[in-house]
A and B are shown apart, each in its own frame.
Chain A
Amino acid sequence: MRSIDMHAHIAPLAASHLPEGQTWHGFTRREMNGRQFLVQGDKRQWLHPAYSLTADERIAYMDSVNVDVHVLTTWVGMYNYDLPGDVGAGIARECNDYVAELTRSHPDRFAGMATLPMQDVNAAVAELERSVNELGLKGAQIADHVNNKTLDHEDFIPFWSAAEQLGALIFFHQEGDDTIVKPRDTKGWAIDNSIGNLSDRVVTFGTLVFGGVLDRFPDLKVCLAHGGGFTCFGAGRLDRGWQVRSEARELGASIPSSYLNKVYYDCLTHSEAVLRYMIDSAGIDRIFLGSDYPYDMGIDEPTAWVNSLESLTQDEKDAILWKNLERVLGV
Chain B
Amino acid sequence: MRSIDIHAHISPEGYIRAVEAGEEWYGISGRSHEFHQAVPRTMWTPEQRLTDMDSLGVDVHVLSTNAVFYCYDRDANAVAAMDRECNDYVSQLTKDHPDRFAGLANLPMQDVGAAATELERAMTQLGMKGAMIDDSVNGKTYDEPEFYPLWEVAEQTGAVILVHQGMQTVVGDRSTRYHLPNTIGNLVERAITYSSFVFGGVMDKYPGLRVCLSHGGGYTCFGAGRMDRGWQVRSEARVNINKPPSTYLNRFWYDCLTHSEPALRMLIDSVGIDKVVFGTDWPFDMQIDWPVAWVLGLESLTQEEKEAILYKNLENLLGI
Contacts and interface: CB of A to CB of B under 8 A. Distances in A.
Nearest to B269: A273
Nearest to B141: A184
Interface in A30-74: none
A181 B184 contact: no
Given A191-B199, A236-B260, A270 B174 contact: no
Contacts of B178: 206-207, 210-211, 241, 245, 247-248, 250
B189 to A, nearest CB: 10
Contact of A203 (B179, B184, B225, B259): B184
A106 interface: no
Given A206-B183, A241-B286, A189 B228 contact: no
B173 to A, nearest CB: 5
Interface in B140-177: 141, 143, 170-171, 173-175, 177
A145 B173 CA distance: 11
A270 B228 contact: yes
B286 A297 contact: no
Given A189-B237, A194-B229, A233-B222, A245 B184 contact: no
A198 B182 contact: no
Given A244-B286, A271-B226, A210 B177 contact: yes
Interface in A194-242: 194-195, 197-200, 202-203, 206-207, 210-211, 226, 230, 233-241
Contacts, number: 175
Contacts of A158: none
Nearest to A202: B184
- B interface majority secondary structure: helix
Contacts of A234: 183-184, 187, 219, 263
Contact of B199 (A180, A189, A197, A237): A189
Interface residues of B, number: 50
Interface stretch (A81-89, A274-282, A322-330): A274-282
Contacts of B29: none
Given A189-B199, A248-B179, A150 B143 contact: no
Given A199-B171, A210-B180, 7 more contacts: A187-B236, A189-B237, A191-B227, A198-B222, A245-B285, A250-B178, A273-B269
Interface of A: 144-145, 148, 150, 152, 180-182, 184, 186-191, 193-195, 197-200, 202-203, 206-207, 210-211, 226, 230, 233-241, 244-245, 247-248, 250, 269-271, 273-274, 277, 280-281, 296-297
Question: Considering the complex of A and B, which 7 residue pairs feature the smallest CB-CB distances, nearest first?
Answer: A236-B260, A271-B225, A210-B178, A241-B183, A236-B259, A189-B199, A270-B225
